[in-house]
Structure 1
Amino acid sequence: MRAILLLLLLYPLLEIATLVTLAHHLGGGVVFLLVLASSLLGIWMLRNQKLGALLTLSSVLRQGQQVSLYSLLWPLRYALSGLLFAIPGILSDLLAILLLLPFKGPALNMGGPTAASTPDDVIEGEFSRVDKPAADQQQRLH
């Protein structure tokens, strides 16, 4: 519990230290524009959060029955990265970029074929074709 409290107290100090160091190397105006641009990007992402759900839905439809756990959590990751972009600072921007990376997770089976089956599996069986005889020649299609 103390470690979490210590991290919460150190986080703002680390953000300020990175901003000051970056401003020393690049200049204050460039850092200000960078922070402003990342905050605007975060606000835009939070306003367009429906895009994350739409991307998840299209991914699920493309993959068929096999769905990754990380792809199901995409809207949550998208919203959290938007919030981290909206917070001014370089470390929060780096965390937001890490959340947006497309990680592959374990596949979940959503009621489709079993994981052991492959598309090359053959199902053997017998069939017979039964045609109904036409009563007269006028009903038959040519």
Structure 2
Amino acid sequence: MTLTAVLLPFLEIPGFVLVSAWIGVIPMLALVVTGVIVGIMVLQRVGMNALVNLRLALARGEEPGHTLIDAACFALGGFLLTIPGFISDIIALALFLPWTRNYLLRRAAGHFDVHIYGRGFGAGGEPRPGGGVIEGEYSVVDSDLPDSAPPRLKDGSSGQ
């Protein structure tokens, strides 16, 4: 991540030169300023809507993963738009695309399935080989007796 932050300015400077040679300096500056303004607007909108969308998803009984990935992508995209430059703007616009967010959701879901559920149980609660086994003993309790009597085991003992 820090390598990207260090290299980004070195990638953005040639982008400024190429775009200003292609469309001119004034239109290039207008695009940069527009990108910053749009980025600020996206960040404000994400900040206001993320919690509301999360609550709605949970109220509908949906997994919150899609809502969280959407909010994270829009927040990161908005932040990248506020950075002057065209490389960061292209990455930001890619984060706004639904197929990009769906791809990231699938990648995140795969990560959680392997790392969280990988200690014994799968995503649907099914046991995975080598994990989730609890050793113990049990006995069947005779439930034909009234509630006031202590429970009796099948072998006739009281179990106490």
Q: TM-score range by the shorter chain?
A: 0.5 to 0.7
More helix per residue: 2
2:141 is matched with which residue?
Answer: none
Give the Cα separation in 1 of the matches to 2:30 and 2:64.
Answer: 37
Change (3 A) 1:8 1:80: closer
In structure 1, distance between residues paired with 2:79 and 2:24 = 26
Letter in 1 for 2:49: L
Contact 1:56–1:75 (CA under 8 A) maintained in structure 2 = no
In the alignment of these two chains, the number of paired residues is 106
What does residue 67 of structure 2 align with? 71
Unpaired runs of 5+ residues, structure 2, are 110-123, 125-160
- Whole-Å separation in 1 of the counterparts to 2:96 and 2:2: 27
- Displaced runs of 4 or more, over 6 A: none
Matches within 5 A, 1:1-142: 6-48=3-45, 49-58=47-56, 60=57, 64-67=60-63, 69-102=65-98, 103-104=101-102, 105-106=105-106
Q: What is the alpha-carbon distance in structure 2 between the residues aligned to residue 70 and residue 84 of structure 1?
A: 21
Task: Please tell me the root mean square deviation across aligned C-alpha atoms, in Å.
Answer: 3.0
- Offset from partner CA, 1:6-65 (integer Å, 9 cap, x none): 54332101101011101101111111110000100111222232134444555x379x44
Relative CO higher for 1 or 2, CA cutoff 8 Å, sep ≥ 6?
1
Unaligned runs of 5+ in 1: 108-114, 116-142
% of aligned pairs identical? 28
One-letter amino acid matched to 2:36: S
